[in-house]
């Protein structure tokens, strides 16, 4: 017999959605916040010559700038106030997660519960400001180095640019937190999601235009569509895949009553690292080519030119390093976000155990063994999802928006948001059932 939660989930329909007023308010708030974000990507920095910058950007759009522009929703291409996007906050969050795993005081602070998380979040905000200051100043100096990009270079331009870009990043961080608290879904992920989705129509129209002019054949365009559908289906399957470990709780006596033992499951995601591995790997591999393009050095050593050519987009060495870095970051980030020893200690604290394994160290070793095996499968999945579109991009020149990383982010955020909407609807129906039962009970009492 299906559980009550499964029955409620199966009965979710438009009528239930129409009655969920709180959910509708959350959705409208999220939509309004994302519209504000999209508006900010079209407000340019003061003192910039748009035509000169567009010309300079076009020569670097295939490098790391192209990927950052995708994540920033086109703000880098227009050099808007949100050009830094939310990436400094993500970088600061990752750095803080690394520090909490290596600094004992921060690790102890993390275990303090809600108060400790608030302190760590505050440290993350400080780190975001610091990273944004450094990156914004680098952008200001780089813009001044371009030919005719800045109309009036100098200290005033640098200060105003730094203040504007850092303010834009901090506003996006605040906006993401507001979406998480008052809207639906994870605010930071939805901001990145909105930036990528906003560029998809242009990417699709550009691909169709290449087909119209004959640069791409009709068969190749159909193959691109089929590959995109297959990649999306693959992402949906693997992002929802879990390995569930059976957890048992022994019988316990409370007063004179004996309670039977209970069972539950410890879910381990196949892809615990999420989209972090391909983002880090792409950024590191595209950085050398971008730096070389900005430097415009004519007397580059022969060995450096050979290495840069071998690391070009779509080259065999690039693909090999890309796959290796994805695998490395998949294991590295999984080790940061999931600690088998802490999980085993929590199970022991609540008298839970995995059948056949002694609570404590043996349980932690078993969880680590299972997690390592499924991470191997998850890393292979990430490599396949990210490399298949990369071959297509290098062979045909289709935009970044049709790459594996962008599809992975879009599908993952969509699945998470839909799951949260379903959770709100189930909670709303539970509340309705409780109210009805109370009314019936009151009538019977009368």
Regarding whether 172 and 228 lie in a shared domain, the answer is: no
For residue 283, the enclosing domain spans 217-397
Regarding whether 82 and 126 lie in a shared domain, the answer is: yes
- Where does 214-315 have alpha helices with state H? 218-240, 276-295, 302-310
Regarding whether 40 and 182 lie in a shared domain, the answer is: yes
Regarding whether 173 and 139 lie in a shared domain, the answer is: yes
Q: What's the mean pLDDT in 331-354? A: 84
- Looking at residue 30, its pLDDT comes to 92
Regarding whether 230 and 183 lie in a shared domain, the answer is: no
Is the pLDDT at 174 greater than 50? The verdict is: yes
In whole angstroms, give the CA distance from residue 97 to residue 237. 28
Q: What's the mean pLDDT in 162-191? A: 90
Of 172-181, 229-238, 295-304, minimum mean pLDDT range: 295-304
The number of domains in the chain is 2
pLDDT over 70, % of the chain: 76
Entry pTM: 0.77
In whole angstroms, give the CA distance from residue 19 to residue 12. 11
Q: For residue 390, is it within any domain?
A: yes
Is the pLDDT at 288 greater than 90? The verdict is: no
pLDDT band at 287 (very low <50, low <70, confident <90, very high): low
Of 44-48, 190-194, 223-227, 302-306, minimum mean pLDDT range: 302-306
pLDDT band at 256 (very low <50, low <70, confident <90, very high): low
pLDDT band at 3 (very low <50, low <70, confident <90, very high): very low
Regarding whether 157 and 117 lie in a shared domain, the answer is: yes
Strand 257-259 relative to strand 242-249: parallel, antiparallel, unpaired? Answer: unpaired
Regarding whether 241 and 111 lie in a shared domain, the answer is: no
Per-residue pLDDT tens for 93-118? 878 877 887 788 877 887 777 787 78
- Which CATH number characterizes residue 306's domain? 1.10.3370.10
Regarding whether 119 and 180 lie in a shared domain, the answer is: yes
- Looking at residue 4, its pLDDT comes to 41
pLDDT band at 21 (very low <50, low <70, confident <90, very high): confident
Regarding whether 318 and 357 lie in a shared domain, the answer is: yes
Of 58-72, 99-113, 204-218, minimum mean pLDDT range: 58-72
Q: What's the mean pLDDT in 296-300? A: 50
Bridge partners for 48 per DSSP: 150
Q: Return the exposure string of 42-78: e unless at least 16 CB atoms fall within 10 Å of the residue's CB, then b.
A: eebbebbbeebbeebbeebebbbbbbbbbbbbbbbbb
Is the pLDDT at 129 greater than 90? The verdict is: yes
In whole angstroms, give the CA distance from residue 293 to residue 356. 58
Is the pLDDT at 9 greater than 50? The verdict is: no
Phi, psi values for residue 148, rounded to 5°: 70, 15
């Amino acid at each position: 017999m299906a559980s009550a939660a499964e029955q409620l989930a199966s009965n979710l329909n438009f009528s239930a959605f129409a009655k969920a007023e709180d959910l509708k308010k959350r959705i409208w708030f999220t939509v309004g916040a994302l519209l504000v974000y999209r508006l900010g990507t079209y407000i340019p920095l003061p003192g910039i010559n748009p035509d000169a910058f567009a010309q300079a950007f076009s020569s670097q759009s295939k490098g790391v700038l192209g990927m950052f522009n995708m994540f920033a929703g086109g703000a880098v291409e227009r050099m808007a106030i949100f050009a830094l996007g939310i990436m400094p906050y993500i970088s600061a969050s990752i750095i803080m997660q690394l520090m909490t795993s290596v600094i004992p005081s921060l690790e102890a602070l993390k275990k303090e519960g809600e108060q400790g998380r608030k302190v760590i979040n505050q440290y993350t905000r400080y780190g975001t400001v610091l990273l944004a200051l450094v990156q914004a100043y680098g952008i200001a100096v780089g813009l001044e180095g371009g030919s005719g990009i800045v109309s009036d270079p100098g200290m005033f331009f640098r200060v105003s640019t730094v203040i504007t870009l850092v303010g834009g990043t901090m506003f996006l961080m605040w906006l993401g937190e507001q979406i998480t608290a008052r809207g639906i879904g994870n605010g930071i992920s939805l901001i990145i999601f909105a930036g990528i989705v906003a560029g998809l129509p242009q990417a699709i129209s550009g691909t169709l235009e290449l087909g119209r002019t004959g640069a791409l054949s009709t068969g190749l365009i159909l193959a691109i569509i089929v590959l995109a559908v297959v990649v999306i289906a693959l992402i949906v399957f693997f992002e929802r895949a879990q390995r569930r470990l059976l957890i048992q709780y022994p019988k316990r006596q409370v007063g004179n009553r004996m309670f039977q033992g209970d069972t539950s499951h410890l879910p381990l995601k196949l892809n615990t690292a999420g989209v972090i591995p391909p983002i880090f790997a792409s950024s590191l591999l595209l950085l050398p080519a971008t730096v070389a393009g900005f430097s415009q050095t004519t007397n580059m050593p022969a060995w450096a030119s050979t290495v840069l050519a071998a690391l070009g987009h779509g080259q065999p060495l690039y693909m090999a390093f890309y796959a290796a870095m994805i695998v490395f970051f998949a294991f590295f980030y999984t080790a940061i976000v999931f600690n088998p020893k802490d999980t085993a200690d929590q199970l022991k604290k609540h008298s839970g155990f995995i059948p056949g394994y002694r609570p404590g160290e043996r349980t932690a070793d078993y969880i680590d063994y299972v997690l390592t095996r499924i991470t191997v499968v998850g890393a292979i999945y990430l490599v396949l999802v990210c490399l298949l579109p990369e071959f297509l991009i290098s062979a045909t020149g289709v935009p970044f928006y049709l790459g594996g990383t962008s599809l992975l982010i879009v599908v993952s955020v969509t699945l998470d948001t839909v799951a949260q909407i379903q959770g709100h609807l189930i909670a709303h129906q539970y509340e309705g059932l409780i109210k009805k039962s109370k009314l019936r009970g009151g009538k019977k009492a009368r």
